[in-house]
């Protein structure tokens, strides 16, 4: 953020990478790596922002960082309803609203992670002292009071679509449905949001070795078990090719790795009830670990019927420790991609993030690579990651993060507008990240990573103040993982 603000001051615009075109001839712009150190630490990783149709290079340059070029308000107070699952999200939301949009913030901590509030107050002491930020606490009643307060001009929520609907339309029930039908919201303030998702990983057929299958499987287990599976972007549905010759071997490796991950505390409120619902009272799925001391076993439900439009694991974000698997199409790449994209777009709830697993040899064939690019273009998700966990985009902090455009107030899906977005780009359609199929060192979210506690401390110090002398410590800790 400091680098982008410096660029704005010196050049009048934010800094971006190379500009190109998607297979659909839409403009795309590179936002990561953001520098030489990024390129070295994340070798082979690129992140591009795909712009909406009609956005030209000139328009993109003119429209970036609108607050700094054409302030559109005389002082706006935004209420940030902080997420309760990840400590970094309230901070990143506040940074977006304050520095991207130039707004004064009131951050209401979620009761689940209110304990981090004092640390945020310490970190933002200067902004608090100058009246740009306040941090407040409380539960649903305090939140209800604040969203209606005349001193609040706008609202930003990171959380559940159910919470969003309760704020905008009132408590669930007949009255809420009537208000939706007549377009009579209780709140008419501007609301931006980042909500949930049933996050899929689409595994394309390819000539995978056993080593590659194992790396893929641990990547998926890591992206499912991270933060006890309490994140909007954690993997929830595996979409495999029907008749794929590697299905049994892959699922065997996946279950082997799941067995090695100790159960973690099911800390988020309502988990037991949701878990009971999605596992049908513990009668379906394979279980890994024992339910003790507030922990629940990791659960894998295979063989879900892709034609079942009522399957809860398709229609509702579970926000608990349940992973589903289904198979569509065939082992023919083109047929599978068409069927898989249709399936996730039409059957799975949410528009936030999705992932594709693609073998590098697939992209070397022009016809197959074109099919992959068409699939990326067709996926109606705000973030599409190739060969990696989409949550990496929130960790990087630089790329935009948000739902695919097009949701309505009455059908909010995964939300509206973008956060993070350090280059302050307008007219975004989606973010596309590409990673190598396998890498060394392994990602820190892999369950088998042994030195992540050391590596991430050093990475944090590097992010605080980027300098070359700090790089070797990060690299050494990563390689020892």
Helical (H) or strand (E) element with 352: none
How far is it, in rounded angstroms, from Cα 63 to Cα 421? 14
At 271 the three-state DSSP class reads helix
> Within 10 Å of residue 178's Cβ, how many Cβ atoms?
12
Q: Are residues 215 and 123 in the same domain?
A: no
Dump the DSSP string for 79-104. Answer: EEE--SS-THHHHHHHHIIIIIT--E
Residue at token pair 């009272």: 281
**Average pLDDT for 266-289:** 92
Residue 475 pLDDT class (50, 70, 90 cuts):
confident
Domain extent at residue 406: 199-411+427-434
Q: Are residues 249 and 389 in the same domain?
A: yes
State which of 139, 166, 188 marks the end of a domain. 188
Rounded to the nearest 10°, the torsion over CA 456, 458, 460, 463 is: -130
Please state the separation of Cα 400 from the chain's center in Å: 10
Buried b (16+ CB within 10 A) or exposed e, 294-305: ebbbbbbbbebe
Q: Are residues 366 and 246 in the same domain?
A: yes
Q: What is the DSSP letter of 265?
A: B
**Taken in order 364, 365, 369, 372, is the CA torsion positive or negative?**
negative
What pLDDT is attached to residue 462?
Answer: 80
Q: How do strand 298-304 and strand 415-416 relate by DSSP bridges?
A: unpaired
93 falls within a domain: yes
284 falls within a domain: yes
- How far is CA 229 from each of CA 86, 278, 402, rounded to the nearest angstrom? 11, 14, 19
CA geometry: angle at 260 spanning 258 and 262, to 5°? Answer: 90
What pLDDT is attached to residue 375?
Answer: 98
Residue pair 235/456 in contact (Cβ under 8 Å)? The answer is: no
pLDDT in tens, 386-428: 999 999 998 888 999 999 999 999 999 999 999 999 999 999 9
How far is it, in rounded angstroms, from Cα 386 to Cα 373? 11
1 falls within a domain: no
pLDDT at 163 over 80: yes
Nearest-10 crossing angle of helices 247-259, 210-225:
50
| CA-closest candidate to residue 298, choices 334, 268, 266, 337 | 266
What pLDDT is attached to residue 82?
Answer: 95
Residue pair 268/357 in contact (Cβ under 8 Å)? The answer is: no
CATH number at 256 reads 3.40.309.10
129 falls within a domain: yes
Q: Are residues 110 and 136 in the same domain?
A: yes
Q: Are residues 461 and 395 in the same domain?
A: no
Q: Are residues 338 and 396 in the same domain?
A: yes
63 falls within a domain: no
The gap between the terminal CA atoms of the chain, to the nearest Å, is 29
Q: Are residues 204 and 182 in the same domain?
A: no
Residue at token pair 């949550």: 391
61 falls within a domain: no
95 falls within a domain: yes
Domains contained in the chain, number:
3
Q: Are residues 253 and 372 in the same domain?
A: yes
Q: Are residues 222 and 349 in the same domain?
A: yes
**Taken in order 471, 45, 399, 254, is the CA torsion positive or negative?**
negative
55 falls within a domain: no
Say what percent of the chain tops pLDDT 70. Answer: 100
Instruction: Lowest mean pLDDT of 282-296, 302-316, 401-415, name the range.
Output: 282-296
Q: Are residues 328 and 391 in the same domain?
A: yes
CATH number at 166 reads 3.40.50
pLDDT in tens, 23-53: 999 999 999 998 888 888 889 999 999 999 9
Q: Are residues 390 and 477 in the same domain?
A: no
> Within 10 Å of residue 470's Cβ, how many Cβ atoms?
17
Helical (H) or strand (E) element with 437: none
Tokens of 248: 């049994």
What pLDDT is attached to residue 241?
Answer: 98
- Name beta bridge partners: 401: 419
pLDDT at 466 over 80: no
Q: Are residues 317 and 340 in the same domain?
A: yes
Half-sphere exposure of 91 (CA within 13 A, CB side): 19
How far is it, in rounded angstroms, from Cα 265 to Cα 175? 37
What pLDDT is attached to residue 197?
Answer: 96
């Amino acid at each position: 953020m400091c680098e982008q603000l410096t660029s704005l001051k010196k050049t009048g615009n934010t800094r971006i990478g190379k500009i190109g075109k998607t297979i659909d001839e839409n403009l795309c712009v590179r936002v990561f790596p953001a520098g030489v150190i990024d390129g070295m630490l994340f070798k082979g990783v690129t992140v591009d922002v795909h712009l909406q149709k009609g956005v030209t290079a000139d328009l993109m340059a003119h429209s970036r960082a609108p607050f700094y070029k054409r302030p559109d308000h005389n002082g706006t107070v935004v209420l940030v309803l902080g997420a309760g699952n990840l400590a970094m999200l309230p901070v990143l939301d506040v940074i977006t609203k304050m520095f991207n949009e130039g707004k004064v913030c009131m951050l209401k901590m979620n009761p689940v992670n209110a304990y981090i509030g004092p640390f945020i107050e310490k970190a933002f002491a200067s902004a608090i002292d100058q009246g740009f930020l306040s941090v407040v606490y409380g539960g649903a009643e305090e939140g209800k009071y604040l969203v209606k307060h005349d001193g609040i001009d706008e609202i930003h929520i990171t959380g559940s679509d159910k919470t969003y609907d309760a704020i905008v339309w009132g408590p669930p029930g007949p009255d809420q449905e009537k208000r939706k039908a007549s377009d009579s919201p209780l709140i008419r303030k501007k609301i931006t949001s980042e909500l949930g998702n049933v996050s899929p990983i689409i595994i394309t057929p390819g000539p995978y070795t056993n080593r590659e299958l194992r790396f893929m499987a641990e990547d998926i287990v890591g992206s499912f078990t991270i933060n006890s599976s309490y994140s909007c972007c954690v993997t929830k549905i595996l979409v495999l090719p029907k008749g794929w010759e590697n299905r049994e071997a892959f699922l065997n490796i996946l279950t082997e790795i799941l067995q090695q991950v100790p159960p973690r505390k099911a800390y988020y409120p309502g988990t037991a009830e949701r878990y009971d619902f999605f596992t049908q009272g513990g009668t379906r799925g394979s279980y890994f670990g024992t339910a003790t001391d507030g922990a629940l076993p990791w659960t894998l439900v295979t063989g879900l019927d892709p034609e079942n439009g009522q399957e809860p694991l398709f229609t509702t974000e579970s926000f608990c420790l349940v992973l589903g698997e289904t198979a569509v199409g065939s082992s023919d790449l083109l047929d599978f991609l068409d069927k898989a994209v249709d399936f996730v777009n039409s059957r799975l709830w949410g528009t936030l993030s999705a992932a594709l697993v693609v073998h590098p040899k697939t992209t070397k064939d022009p016809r197959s690579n074109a099919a992959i690019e068409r699939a990326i273009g067709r996926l109606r998700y705000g973030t599409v990651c190739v060969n990696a966990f989409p949550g990496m985009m929130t960790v990087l902090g630089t790329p935009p993060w948000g739902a695919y455009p097009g949701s309505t107030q009455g059908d909010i899906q995964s939300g509206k507008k973008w956060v993070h977005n350090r280059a302050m780009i307008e007219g975004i359609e989606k973010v596309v990240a590409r990673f190598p199929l396998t890498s060394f060192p392994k990602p820190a979210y892999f369950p088998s990573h042994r030195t992540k506690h050391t590596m991430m401390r050093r990475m944090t110090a590097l992010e605080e103040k980027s300098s070359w002398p700090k790089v070797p410590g990060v690299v050494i800790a990563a390689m020892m993982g």
